[in-house]
Structure 1
Amino acid sequence: MLMDHVFSIYTVIPQLNEKDAIVLNKAMQYFQKAFDKALKTKETVLHIEAVINEFIKEQKASKDLDMESNECPMDYKKMS
Structure 2
Amino acid sequence: MDNFEWGSGYAVRFGLYYVDYKNDLKRYPKKSVKWFKQFLRRDSHSPIPHTYPLITSNETSKIEDSLVRDAKRPRNA
The structure richer in strand per residue is 2
TM-score range for the pair, normalised by the shorter chain length: under 0.3
Q: Which has the larger radius of gyration?
A: 1
Q: Which has the higher contact order (CA 8 A, sep 6+)?
A: 1
TM-score scaled by structure 1? 0.25
The structure richer in helix per residue is 1
